[in-house]
Amino acid sequence: MSSIDSPLRVSIVAPCYNEEDVIEEFARRALATGRVVAAGSFELVLVDDGSRDATWSKIEHMSRENPEIVGVRLMRNHGHELASTAGIASSRGARVLLIDADLQDPPELLGDMMAIMDRGADVVYGQRGARKGESWMKLTTSAIFYRLLRWLASVDIPSDTGDFRLMTRRVAELLLSMPERDRFLRGMISWIGGRQVPIIYERDQRHAGTTKYSYSKLLRLALDAITGFSARPLRIASWAGVVTAFIALCLLGYTFYSFEAGWAVTGWSSTMVAITVFSAVQLITLGILGEYIGRLVQQSKGRPLYMVDRVVRDGEEVPLVDCPEMRSGNEHQFRSRDPFLP
């Protein structure tokens, strides 16, 4: 079903991965907020990103009891960004609220975000004024990441933000039309432009369970963000090559001069230092190139962004043939980019 002409005022989209401890409380608060703010004209889209616990069974049970809940189960774990994309693709509301299910971002903020959007905003994004329950290590690395990203990126990506944001249907469709696999949604939404307005809030600690974002996943997300929105690392690698080449020429000149002067030219320490420095620069440069080339290779394969296993709507399982946009990410993108496709 097309979401453009949907009578629903808003879709609340939440990716979930092993959230059995918190999913019921999140659904309770999100449903209560939607019923008040949207006067019942809303849906809650819960995307199970290949969970290994009871998350999906709880989503199915809640969908039977609450017709506003739409359950989407992916065939395997695709990661937060692609699970969010799958949820947005399945949504039908005129506006889409993207939020995590761990209750660190309060669904009750939807009313204030809707009011700001009523005044003409295309995107209303949550900006963290305070972050409860997070270690100094995570706060420090997060601050460094956002400052580094703002220096490197070719678009202005606001600091201290996550994926928690309300967007119009037009922005959601533009986001879905972007074909890249290594997605950094907050950067992609910033790239779209339009009027984007922050709303400052205090981020709570997790309601239950543990974070699913390890430092390795955060590093992977940081690499996706930097390589997806900046070519500056390539330029830095090029300038590093120029500088080291200049130093090498100077050393070569010094070697010839020392040889002609009859000085003792070679020494183990100086040789090892030169080899180490030049090798390090070369390997770092190759690593940067490899990151970009690897993304090009993955993108060129044209595989689906995600694969949907089951969809539950109004308490009943929906045959995927009745919602072709849900079978994979590529089908929605191809329709969005080509107006001649049915």
What pLDDT score does 184 carry?
A: 84
How far CA 216 is from CA of 140, 189, 212, 222, in Å, comes to 16, 24, 11, 10
Q: Which two tokens stand for residue 319?
A: 């045959």
**Taking CA 16 as the corner, what is the angle to CA 186 and CA 215, rounded to the nearest 5 degrees?**
60
Measured distance CA(290)–CA(218) in Å, rounded: 19
Q: Euclidean distance between the first and final Cα of the chain, in Å?
A: 12
Q: What is the pLDDT of residues 17-68, one digit of tens each?
A: 999 999 999 999 999 999 999 988 999 999 999 999 999 999 999 999 999 9
Stronger pLDDT, 262 or 169, i.e. the higher one? 169
- pLDDT of residue 151 exceeding 80, the answer is no
Nearest to 128 by CA among 205, 213, 196, 200: 200
The one-letter code for the residue type at 114 is M
CB half-sphere exposure, 142, CA atoms < 13 A? 16
227-235 average pLDDT score: 65
Measured distance CA(305)–CA(47) in Å, rounded: 14
Nearest to 99 by CA among 207, 218, 229: 207
Whether 183 and 163 have beta carbons less than 8 Å apart is answered as no
DSSP string, 175-241: HHT---SS--HHHHHHHH-S-EEEEEEEEPPPSSS--S--HHHHHHHHHHHHHHH--HHHHHHHHHH
Measured distance CA(162)–CA(125) in Å, rounded: 8
- pLDDT of residue 4 exceeding 50, the answer is no
Whether 126 and 105 have beta carbons less than 8 Å apart is answered as yes
Q: Which two tokens stand for residue 19?
A: 């959230």
CA 204 from centroid of its chain's CA atoms: 20
Stronger pLDDT, 82 or 151, i.e. the higher one? 82
Q: Which of 165-169, 213-217, 263-267, 320-324 has the highest mean pLDDT?
A: 165-169
Tokens 């709303």 belong to residue: 199
What pLDDT score does 335 carry?
A: 39
- Band (3; pLDDT cuts 50, 70, 90): very low
Task: Output the average pLDDT for the chain.
Answer: 78
- pLDDT of residue 229 exceeding 90, the answer is no
Domain spans in the chain, listed from the N-terminal domain onward = 10-217+304-337, 232-300
The count of other CB atoms within 10 Å of the CB of residue 171 is 21
- pLDDT of residue 342 exceeding 60, the answer is no
DSSP string, 104-137: SS-GGGHHHHHHHHHTT-SEEEEEEEEETT--HH
The reply to whether CATH 3.90.550.10 applies to domain 10-217+304-337 is yes
What pLDDT score does 333 carry?
A: 43
What pLDDT score does 215 carry?
A: 56
**Taking CA 170 as the corner, what is the angle to CA 114 and CA 68, rounded to the nearest 5 degrees?**
55
pLDDT > 70 fraction of the chain, expressed in percent and rounded: 64
What pLDDT score does 324 carry?
A: 42
- pLDDT of residue 282 exceeding 80, the answer is no
Q: What is the pLDDT of residues 184-203, one digit of tens each?
A: 888 889 889 899 999 999 87
The count of other CB atoms within 10 Å of the CB of residue 331 is 16
139 SS3 class: helix
Give 72's DSSP letter: E
What pLDDT score does 327 carry?
A: 44
